[in-house]
Amino acid sequence: MSHPFRHLRIAVSAALVAATIVTPTLGSGSAHALDNGLALTPPMGWSSWNRFGCDIDQWKIREIADAMVSSGLKDAGYRYVNVDDCWQAVQRLPNGDLTWNPQRFPDGIPGLARYVHAKGLKLGIYGNPGKRSCASWSGSYEGEMGSLGHEYQDARTFARWGVDYLKYDDCWSKVDGVSASHAFITMSQALHATGRPIVYSIHNMPQQPVPSWIPKVANLWRTTADITDNWVSVATIALLTLPLAQYAQPGAWNDPDMLEVGNGGLTLPESRSHLTLWAMLAAPLILGNDIRTMSPETRELLTNRLMLSVDQDQLGRAAVPVHMERGWVLLRPLTGNRWAVSLTNVSETPLVLSVTPQELGLAGHWTYQEAWSGHAGTLTGALTRQVNPHDSALFVLTSGTSPRG
């Protein structure tokens, strides 16, 4: 049996090759992005899929909304409650409108939207550009409820229901003769035509390279295949998303998929790294755990103020690698002449990771605060920490002059 981290080494090599082809810089984002005034920082919320898959109903979603408030997640910035696949009825209504599974959602999606909105939260829904959803393709759910040929009708339906976020997920729509660009652009236009502010999240296949049309029509777009609840998946997805930093900007975000923190497959250090890397990538933070039963340790990780401030920084520029020989050292510009620096140990042994001000391009006087330990101090030489296997340190540097370049 091969060592499980052999796959990570292979992915590292592949991503580094890709990075030599598309080298990320600290310049501004792509020139054109969707201008709908939404998602000016990466969306934060929760989605049903990672933890529950098709096992969803209105009572479970309502309990999640309750828990988002009572746990402090709402106050920390998590606002979207996203219902993923398997909410749909098997057939449309006689007039062609979408409708919900009446056994799972007897009060309907509008009733669920009212409940979620009354909590000060927002509701997300799931759709597809072809005829069938991903769960339908896999055989785990009945029906052909994709939006092909119904894009404007479905957008009006979502708006009428009170939906605030649409995840539009491409699952083998090419079998239906769908052009990905045409399908995703059409739904973008349809959502705009409703007049309702609806964040638009798309999952195109293949995910890379990012076609030039995607940032113009979507607020966020998936960068890789689906995440799974293990360290190899988390690290590989982060590595493959790093070369796409140039695309990130307010209103338009690379999406390395939902979080797995709290689902049991990651250790505490791996969970810290998961959040550190997603924050440095300026990634959406969409929780995938059962927040009704999450541990105090998980809640503490997810509500870490410094980590969240990095992810939600209004400058909206993603991190780039400084060096990645022994561990990963990433640098992300922040507002107010501040910089985020992360040190991640992807190896199986403890490492002393270090980066000098010169490597960061820094001059002058800098202070720092580290997110996970709370330690603060003055940068008097190299930024050095011993980092345990699969763990990360996340620093915010303040004051001083701007990095070169």
Active site residues: 169, 226
- Helix/strand/coil (H, E, C) string of the chain? CCCCCHHHHHHHHHHHHHHHHCCCCCCCCCCCCCCCCCCCCCCEEEECHHHHCCCCCHHHHHHHHHHHHHCCHHHHCCCEEECCCCCECCCCCCCCCCCECCCCCCCHHHHHHHHHHHCCCEEEEEECCCCCCHHHHHCCCCCCCCCCCCHHHHHHHHHHHCCCEEEEECCCHHHHCCCHHHHHHHHHHHHHHHCCCCEEEEECCCCCCCCCCHHHHCCEEECCCCCCCCHHHHHHHHHHHHHHHHHCECCEEEECCCCCCCCCCCCHHHHHHHHHHHHHCCCCEEECCCCCCCCHHHHHHHCCHHHHHHHCCCCCCCCEEEECCCCEEEEEEECCCEEEEEEECCCCCCEEEEECHHHHCCCCCCEEEECCCCCEEECCCCEEEEECCCCEEEEEEECCCCCCC
